[in-house]
Amino acid sequence: LTVPLLICEFYLILAAATNVAGSLFKKLLVGSLVMLVFGYMGEAGIMTAWPAFIIGCLAWVYMIYELWAGEGKSACNTASPAVQSAYNTMMYIIIF
């Protein structure tokens, strides 16, 4: 539950400060749910662990791409310097 909330926080910060497309929220929510569902399936033994792990990692990479270079970054570039700083700090925390 915390992963979708954390990822959607990026959208909420941007939406409070600038005009951001609702499609970003949907992309981030779907990516985080895919990551969680396949993580659960691999851990519970519903499917083989390695394929579930790889699919979960691909969902994570997709979300990072959307935030780092996709819609999230382009919306961030139009925001104030304070919002850009908060956004970039959150990016560094979740990536590194």
Residues 6+ apart with CB under 8 A from 24: 11, 14, 66, 70, 71, 72, 75
Residue type at position 15: A
Asked if 83 contacts 18 with a C-beta cutoff of 8 angstroms, the reply is yes
The one-letter code for the residue type at 51 is P
Buried residues in 38-49 as b, exposed as e (16+ CB within 10 A): bbebbeeeeeee
pLDDT in tens, 31-44: 999 999 999 999 99
Domain 2-95 has CATH 1.20.1070.10: yes
pTM for the model stands at 0.85
pLDDT of residue 10: 85
Domain boundaries, the chain: 2-95
